[in-house]
Amino acid sequence: MAQYQAPLDDIRFVAHDLLGLTDHYPTLHGVEPPDRETFDLMLEQGGRFSEQMLHPLYRSGDDSGCDFNGGQVRLPKGYRQAREQFVASGWPGLTAPIRWGGQALPRSVGIAINEMMCATNPPWVMLVGLPSGVMMAVEAHGDEWQKQRFFPGLVDGRFSATMCLTEPHCGTDLGILRTRAEPQADGSYHITGTKIFISYGEHDCADNIIHLVLARLPDAPTGTAGISMFIVPKLMVHEDQSLGERNRVSCGAIEHKMGYAASPTCVMNFDAATGYLVGKPNEGLKYMFVMMNDARIGSGMAGLGLANASYQGALAYARERLQMRSLSGKKNPGGAADPIIVHPGVRQLLLTQKAFTEGCRALCLDAARYGDLAEYGADESIRKAASHRLGFLTPIVKGFVTEVSNECVSHGVQVLGGHGYIREHGMEQLMRDCRVSTIYEGTTQVQALDLLGRKIMLDQGRAMNAMIAEIDAFCEQHQVHTRIGAHAQLLRGKLADWQALAGEVGTAAMKDPDEAGAASVDFLLYSGYVLLAWYWLRLTLAAEQKLANDGDAHFCQGKFKAADFYFARLLPRTLALAASIRAGGSSLMAVTDEEF
């Protein structure tokens, strides 16, 4: 199995040289701002934990999977010990408020570290990642009793958590969910229904599991307007934090999946289980989106981590594997053949991986920075503007990053050829596990509809236009720059076309709503390519400054050449996407059911 080395230099480059996160942290209110030394120390600790603890469990957990017997789920060997070490090191409380025993660090710190953990064991990361999302939703909308009862256990690691949305008859369309909530005399509710695809709905690695469940009250309106949110613990929690009787919630089965074999995806049955209403009745879907949007950024990071792991494995193999001679003459005259990294076809695969992973890292961490500002900005205007920008970026992070990550892990298999297709080198596991990233928390198609329909059309283009204006001003400022001037001029043309495409689709959709759906995925991908081009311009300038300050020449030159590759070989994909968008929906919608 390919070794993984935490990309600390690359993460620090984005965090410090590009985004200036440790200068950004003191502007936030309500968090503890880490300085650069502390940030780097936490990165190093996270990288070491990922390399030494999580990575060795990745293959073994995939081999053994989870054991289900009589409603009980046993996780793979070593998972409990890894979680215990994670808890002992204080990681569960990294971004949690101090009043609950947390460290109150900005969320972008955790997201930066999360990439390395996702790269080395994404099924395990789900086990420890879900509680923070649950806390975000309850912190925003729950009452004081709920926080005092459940937060201490989530922060100190005694409890894990889930979010329970999907049902056997409905996935993304939560408006038709059937789980019921019956009010009780003591103010609690009895929750009855079945939820499926619940990650870590049952397991043996925590004392308790806190389920966040969507259900309907008896008098609820139909559709999404009638959904409420409830806290349903596996074991009842007493005021002194001791655990009581088992609640009426059980695991009926676990799914057999393409990947993530070490993560139990559970069928959860609620049989008049005791639950507690979070916030107001019928507001549950809105509340759940606090957690869902955080999970969507997490899905993007999972894809990014796996793509980087695949790149590392492919690059190491390409440097060592001898096969054929270079078309331009021997590069390894003392050997029987040249290493495959000299061949243009292999270099194209590797550079595509490099350009996507490094560009997407900048996009994801910048989205995390906006998340910090949206939650902890110094005043309401800053929080509102950041929330608006984050809302626009989220479907792109979830949709585009996971799609190109799947391309990257596929390229990793291809670089290794037959050795990539067998289990020995671990590349096929990366590909299987990455595949679900485009499905989790709303498929790419759902993200595309969200971007085009909600974040652009319903928003009347405000967020998009603000983004375009910012990028255009940057490009105008640098259009005569020696290194990036030509790229900046090219990007200005793409911005104009991006804006025109949005207008054309919007006009077509007013006549036929299916036009928006027909264009949405290609439009999301177009958006991602344009944004990554902007980040590559900024990465290039940051590398130029780093080189001027005696930074590592190979590191900086690698950024310059990856940017050139991106503009020469990847950004032109927008031409085909634009043609597809402008082709309209007639070729999709003209086919009858019988003609498929």
Q: Provide Rg for the chain, Cα atoms.
A: 24
The whole-angstrom separation of Cα 382 and Cα 384 is: 5
Using DSSP's 3-state secondary structure scheme, residue 272 falls into strand
553-565 and 514-548 are packed helices; what angle lies between their axes, rounded to 10 degrees? 150
Q: What residues have CB less than 8 Å from 273, skipping those under 6 apart?
A: 190, 191, 192, 232, 247, 248, 249
For every residue of 452-494, DSSP letters joined together read IIIIIIITTTHHHHHHHHHHHHHHHHTTT-TTTHHHHHHHHHH
Q: What would the two tokens of residue 565 be?
A: 């590759």
Burial of 275 (0-12, 13-18, 19+ CB in 10 A): buried
CA torsion angle 449 167 205 150 (round to 10): 80
Q: What is the phi/psi pair of residue 229, to 5°?
A: -110, 140
Q: Give the DSSP letter of residue 566.
A: I
Which residues contact residue 17 at a Cβ distance below 8 angstroms, ignoring those fewer than 6 apart?
Answer: 542, 543, 545, 546
Rounded Cα–Cα distance for residues 262 and 25 (Å): 36
- Distance CA(141)–CA(191), nearest Å, equals 19
In one letter, which amino acid is 341?
Answer: I
Give the max Cα distance, the chain: 84
Percent of the chain as helix, strand, coil, to the nearest 5: 60, 10, 25
- How far is 523 from 198, CA to CA, in rounded Å? 31
Bridge partners (DSSP) of residue 266 are 198, 254
CA distance 570 to 573: 6
Q: Which residue has the tokens 């309106």?
A: 221
> Within 13 A of 552's CA, how many CA atoms are on the CB side?
7
Q: Of 308, 294, 314, which is closest to residue 387 (Cα–Cα)?
A: 294
Only one residue has tokens 């490094």, namely 358
Interatomic CA distance for residues 167 and 215, integer angstroms: 11
Angle between helices 462-477 and 514-548 (to 10 degrees): 30
Whether the CB-CB separation of 398 and 447 falls below 8 Å is answered with yes
Q: Please give the helix or strand (H or E) that residue 197 lies within, else none.
A: strand 189-199
Active site residues: 441
Q: Which residue has the tokens 């205007």?
A: 381
Is the CB of residue 307 less than 8 Å from the CB of residue 123? no
